[in-house]
Structure 1
Amino acid sequence: MNSPPADLQAIGWRADIDPRWRDAMAAHPDAHPARVVEQHRSGYVVATGPGEGVAVESLPEWQRPTGYRKGTVAPEDRPAVGDWVLVEDGRRIVALLPRRSAIKRGAAGEHYRQQLIAANVDVAFVVCGLDGDFNLRRIERYLLLVQGSGAQPVVVLTKADLPGADAAAAHAALAGIEALGVPAVAVNAKDAAAVEALAPWLHPGDTVVLVGSSGAGKSTLTNTLLGIDRMKTAAVREHDARGRHTTTHRALIPLPSGACLIDTPGMRELKPTGEEELADGGFGDVEVLAAQCRFRDCAHGREPGCAVRAAIARGELDEGRFLNYMKLGGEVAAAADRLASRLADKQGAKPASRAAHKRPDDRHGKR
């Protein structure tokens, strides 16, 4: 195939092409690479540069299931915003190129499903307002989903301009997370000069995704980075700082800096997929402490020689953070078992529980 247009670099194309991509492109010599910039229920919009995207047809097996037709490809294996695809005739997707990173969550509902949030992402801005939106436990949950994806997390504390916003207190609460190498930056998302603090993560060719709850300031931040009011914004409710969904679908937007930004709708439910590791979620220090307990199956309760409880007593480990570690560990273990069952059903084999190496109170716990 011909060399890809130079404009592709403006939407995240890298010079160091994945060798697997070369194989896929060789199999479709008449196709050209494009990036998925919007995903809708009815299909995809792709682009080959920073201009307007075009709607394209997708493979039949990627279509969403209906009442009379079942989907043949799992949702996480279909294209998402940020994916690179091969397009023929400028209107038909013929292949999905392998991903170098993917941020996913467990989808709501009884049956195990994964929902892909964004693909081929370099950095994830975990956006949280310095108002009633600030929630340390939720930030830890976001980090669990982000850090195992291959993307670098950065906590972005918006609304630093509000009366009563206490960035110093937020940084103090995040000290344990920042000590593990996760940056936290407080900004006034409406002020272009303040937003310059995010420049180190917005280099040309980088792709950044914004994740956070509704009303956290993601759309405001997007508008400021763009220099124009492109994204719709709305005020949060005064009594609980809850926001309304102003972003209704995921979209990839080229920035003046040369980076690409993926804005996403607010997420109130963050279920693990079962593929996460707690150490990736900013709990590496808790894992180190747990390994120092006298008993390998320590439940971190009343057992003698519990290094975790000793650290809590000394004030070196926040008890709320430890309890969230235990809670998330149980959720990851349960999701891992459901994932194993799904994979076993596909292969017609008996599922093997993965909980033994996922659940903290099993690995270090109940005897």
Structure 2
Amino acid sequence: MNTTVNMTLQDLGYNNYFEKLRIDNNLKDFEIGRVISEQKERYIVKSEKGEFEAEITGNLRFSAKSRKDFPAVGDWVSLIYHETDFAVINSILPRISTLSRQAVNKFGELQIIASNIDYGLIVQSVNRDFNINRLERYLTLCYTSRIEPIIVITKTDLTDEENLNDLLNKIKIRVKNVPLIPVSNETKEGIDKLKKLLYKGKTYCLLGSSGVGKSSLINSLIGESRMKTANISQSIDRGKHVTTRRELIPMINGAILIDNPGMREVGITDSSLGIESTFEKIYDLAQSCKFSDCTHTSEIGCAVQLAIDNGQIEKSHFENFLKMEREKEHYESAVAEKRRKDKDFGKMIKHYKKTKKSNNF
């Protein structure tokens, strides 16, 4: 899989900070590469020598305690080349950020979306996909990981100016201090404005549901038809799912994009920081509640409920806040229960070994 067109590590986002991590972790004698694709624990890693299929060492697999200990797209890893097109991943450099969500159908477990991300491009379209509650979930994922969000509204050619402005105003009422860029991949309107927010050496992760135009957006940003796209389904008014795996894509201007399969479910984890940032106004108002343990539902003197009654906060915004808080608490409870069971299991194994040893004498 080794390619003839090589890139420098800097083209992939490598900088002095990662070099210091390399030195601090005694990895100077290893090659360094970045995971650009992952599928079923088989990886594609890109280094200055090209692209390589890769797998992890047995030691790395054995010492892994959870999914977080395995490589993810965006990771910087130390490598040992075994063949012209194959390498073994020896270790993972510490991550500067980890974008993750609640694993689907596996409550209490994380699914890593990508690592070492600087910006999250939250993509929604003007048609049936648009959902401001889900947009707030993506914002929470970004804030939790200390990733700067950028909201991109696609397919603006499918609506008129009045409807577009109404949609953008709905976002502005509920979301503050986040860049908001409407674009059309058909007419290219807004693409140049978005390009100005893509900085050399920074890594961007695309976040959004299937069919919002992420692949078309990538093609617009890099100026070529690199990503496969599908036609819009007339019955559901959105594009078909195309991207099937996460993939890192270096761009001409020096920014790095990570494409991501569409996500209909955006499960919340232990995201206290993220929720507080997304619903900052609610948290600020809560400081003025009469009771310090106010649940903001039926208490007398609740500043949040007063703001809802006065129209300062949308009821749907508050309901989304409550739902995500419940999910966070449920996730934290599931994690605590899982840790308790693991601890009990460990004690049982220790007792078994101790008993077995005693019986042998």
Is it true that 1:172 corresponds to 2:164 in the alignment? no
Following TM superposition, by how much is the alpha carbon of 1:344 offset from its aligned partner in structure 2, in angstroms?
4.0
* Secondary structure of 2:157's aligned partner: coil
**Residue identity in the other structure for 2:115:** A
| One-letter amino acid matched to 2:39 | H
CA contact 1:274–1:337 (8 Å) conserved in 2: no
Q: 305, 309, 314: which is aligned to 1:309?
A: 305
Matched, 1:252 2:248: yes
Distance 1:278 1:257, change over 3 A: closer
Partner residue in 2 for 1:89: 81
Q: Among the aligned pairs, what percent are the same residue?
A: 33
1:84 maps to amino acid: W
Deviation at 1:15, TM superposition (A): 2.5
> Over aligned residues, Cα RMSD in angstroms?
2.4
Q: In 2, Cα distance between the equivalents of 1:210 and 1:60?
A: 32
Does residue 299 (structure 1) correspond to residue 300 (structure 2)? The answer is: no
CA distance in 2, matches of 1:258, 1:280: 33
Q: Secondary structure at the match of 1:17?
A: helix
Stretches of structure 2 that go unaligned for 5 or more consecutive residues are: 1-5, 346-361
Alignment of 1:7-86 (within 5 A): 7-17=8-18, 19-24=20-25, 26=26, 28-49=27-48, 53-60=51-58, 72-86=64-78
Deviation at 1:242, TM superposition (A): 4.3
The structure richer in helix per residue is 2
Residue 259 of structure 2 is aligned to residue 263 of structure 1? yes
Deviations along 1:255-309, whole A, 9 cap, x unmatched? 0110000000000111112244354451011111122111122232332211111
Separation of aligned partners in 2, 1:80 and 1:316: 41
* Equivalent AA in structure 2 for residue 81 of structure 1: V
What is the CA distance between 1:196 and its match in structure 2?
1.2
Q: CA deviation at 1:71?
A: 9.2
Once the two structures are TM-superposed, the CA of residue 342 in structure 1 deviates from its matched residue by 2.9
> Does structure 2 conserve the Cα–Cα contact (< 8 Å) formed by 1:275 and 1:332?
yes
Does the 8 Å CA contact 1:140/1:281 hold for their aligned counterparts? no
1:102-141 correspondence to structure 2 within 5 Å: 102-141=98-137
Is 1:234–2:230 an aligned residue pair? Answer: yes
Q: Deviations over 1:47-98 (max 9, x none)?
A: 014x8521012123666xxxxxx99441122111100000012611101000
Residues 187-236 of structure 1 deviation map (CA, whole Å, 9 limit, x = unaligned) = 11344463111123311101000010000110000111111111111133
AA at the equivalent of 1:230:
R
Q: Which runs of 5+ in 1 are unaligned?
A: 64-69, 350-367
1:228, 1:278 → 2: CA distance? 35
Write out per-residue CA displacement over residues 151-178 of structure 1, whole angstroms, 9 at most, x where no aligned residue. Answer: 1011100011113473211221112344
TM-score, normalized by length of structure 1?
Answer: 0.85
Contact 2:35/2:46 (<8 A) preserved: yes
Say which structure is richer in strand: 2
* Structure 2 equivalent of residue 147 of structure 1: 143
Counterpart contact for 1:130–1:167, Cα < 8 Å? yes
Say if 1:61 and 1:73, in contact at 8 Å, map to a contact too: no
1:274 maps to 2:273? no
Q: CA deviation at 1:184?
A: 1.2
Determine if contact 1:190/1:221 at 8 Å carries over to the other structure.
Answer: no
For structure 1, which segment, 257-266 or 106-115, has the greater mean C-alpha deviation from structure 2 after superposition?
Answer: 106-115
Given that 2:41 and 2:55 are in contact with CA atoms closer than 8 Å, whether structure 1 keeps it comes out as no
| Dislocated runs of 4+, deviation >6 Å | none
